[in-house]
Amino acid sequence: MRAEPLARRGEVLLRVEGLVKYFPVRRALGLWTTETVKAVDGLSFELRRGETLGLVGESGCGKSTLARVLMLLEPPTSGRAMFDGRDIFALNRRERFDLRRRIQVVFQDPYDSLHPRMTAEQLISEPWEIHSDVVPRRERPTRVRDLMERVGLNPSRARDYPHQFSGGQRQRIGIARALALEPDLIICDEPVSALDVSIRAQVLNLFRTIQADLGLTYIFIAHDLSIVRQVSDRVAVMYLGGIVESGEQAAVYDHASHPYTQALLSAVPVSDPRQRGRRTRILLAGDPPSPTNPPSGCRFRTRCWKATQLCADEVPALVDRGQGHPAACHYASELPSVASAPNVEPGAPPGPSAAAGRQASRPT
Ligand SMILES: Nc1ncnc2c1ncn2[C@@H]1O[C@H](COP(=O)(O)OP(=O)(O)OP(=O)(O)O)[C@@H](O)[C@H]1O
Ligand code: SF4
Ligand SMILES: [Mg+2]
């Protein structure tokens, strides 16, 4: 039998404190250097039981690395992650084994993550081979059927192989597999990015239904802001290994106060036809700097149109400077001050209508 979780709905389930993950850099001929890739560099956040934290940011900002460290697939360089009151990096072997059951993952590409020679039934029941106490062997066929029904798959297809399912159906197998161990937290790493737009809406709906039914907690990773908005209660925006802005979903989307968030939001397609062509789009210059050698002070300063000497000299803390939620910017302000931005497309400044609304874009 599984132990009762300590944290109740609404209480803190996971508290990440100053998490750092550096990778050593290997040069040609396999020689190591003294350089490191600063993939995650001092992340702190809280996650409450039953909520969804959306984690959004450009490719390479460290989203998947954070996920892998939290799933104990990579050791951290430093920092703590308190899960149900215990530091997951200080657990003994037995405790780590138990934790691996409680935190599950759904990956981006269901085809890559499902063994091609295993049937749906084998794939869904495989986690019970390792965590054999979760479901008694004689109950497993019934439980597989239940799980297939829960994720919207016809149980009559239990003996089919991954290639016989569509992309959306394969992702449903991945979700059923994650649910098999009755986890508390599911880390969803770009779970709908590889799916057609029409299928995405259905799978996002499934995530929400399951959460409502089972009281699950999600970390939902994506680089698409409109997807993160649809599923998240709270949002954390990442840039080059750090969180630059975080808060309630509506606060971050409707009152973005970090220039990077404002630039990301300005690029989100507008659902309201009346607003189309009226919004200023901020085009960020260049690629993000190398995580091996990030800029001093504010890491965003090499692409920021508001940067001053202070931004090069001092790391801006992730705090609320009066805008209502934390942002890591010395000059955090709801107004993007795009007049001084070097690359803007004309129109009205981004505001509450800049991104698709949660209700409006909710899949049906
Ligand atoms: N095992 C590793 N060894 C060295 N560098 C790594 C390793 N894993 C990730 N990195 C580097 O860490 C940085 C963050 O990578 P990560 O995969 O976490 O980004 P991401 O935000 O998930 O990107 P994407 O949106 O493309 O999935 C990148 O610069 C990446 O090259
Ligand atoms: S701290 Fe400076 S460089 Fe960084 S986002 Fe704010 S204004 Fe831009
Ligand atoms: Mg990734």
Q: How are beta strands 52-56 and 234-239 bridged, if at all?
A: parallel
- Residue 130 and residue 229 in one domain: yes
pLDDT tens, residue by residue, 181-237: 999 999 999 999 889 888 999 999 999 999 999 999 999 999 889 999 999 999 999
Q: Which residue has the higher pLDDT, 203 or 358?
A: 203
Q: Are 61 and 239 in contact (CB under 8 A)?
A: yes
Q: At what angle do helices 140-150 and 167-179 cross, to 10 degrees?
A: 130
Q: What residues pair up with 43 in beta bridges, in sequence order?
A: 19
> Which residue matches tokens 């981004």?
350
Tokens of 263: 């630039």
The residue-averaged pLDDT of 38-57 equals 96
Q: Where are the beta strands (DSSP E) in the chain?
A: 12-26, 32-48, 52-56, 78-83, 86-87, 103-106, 185-189, 217-222, 234-239, 242-248, 281-282, 344-345
Q: Give the C-alpha separation, 55 to 242, whole Å.
A: 11
Q: Ligand 2 pocket, 176 CB below 6 A?
A: no
DSSP 8-state class, residue 241: T
Range(s) of the domain holding residue 142: 49-72+95-239
pLDDT tens, residue by residue, 130-146: 999 999 999 999 999 99
Q: Flag whether the pTM goes above 0.95.
A: no
Q: Which residue has the higher pLDDT, 256 or 275?
A: 256
Identify whether 247 is part of a domain: no
Q: Ligand 2 pocket, 242 CB below 6 A?
A: no
Identify whether 246 is part of a domain: no
pLDDT tens, residue by residue, 148-175: 999 999 999 999 999 999 999 999 999 9
Identify whether 107 is part of a domain: yes
Identify whether 128 is part of a domain: yes
Pocket test for ligand 2, best of 304, 305, 314, 333 (most atoms within 8 A of CB): 304
pLDDT tens, residue by residue, 291-337: 999 999 999 999 999 999 999 999 999 999 998 999 999 999 866 65
Task: Report which of 356, 354, 358 is spatially closest to residue 266, judged by C-alpha positions.
Answer: 354
- Residue 272 and residue 300 in one domain: yes
- Residue 290 and residue 233 in one domain: no
Comparing 108-117, 247-256, 267-276, 280-289, which segment has the lowest mean pLDDT? 267-276
Q: Give the contacts of 7 (CB within 8 A, at least 6 positions apart).
A: 13, 49, 84, 85
Identify whether 36 is part of a domain: no
Q: Are 84 and 95 in contact (CB under 8 A)?
A: no
Q: pLDDT band at 360, cuts 50/70/90?
A: very low
> Which residue matches tokens 């697939």?
73
Q: What is the mean pLDDT of the chain?
A: 87
Q: pLDDT band at 285, cuts 50/70/90?
A: confident
Q: Ligand 1 pocket, 68 CB below 6 A?
A: no
Q: Give the C-alpha separation, 47 to 87, whole Å.
A: 14
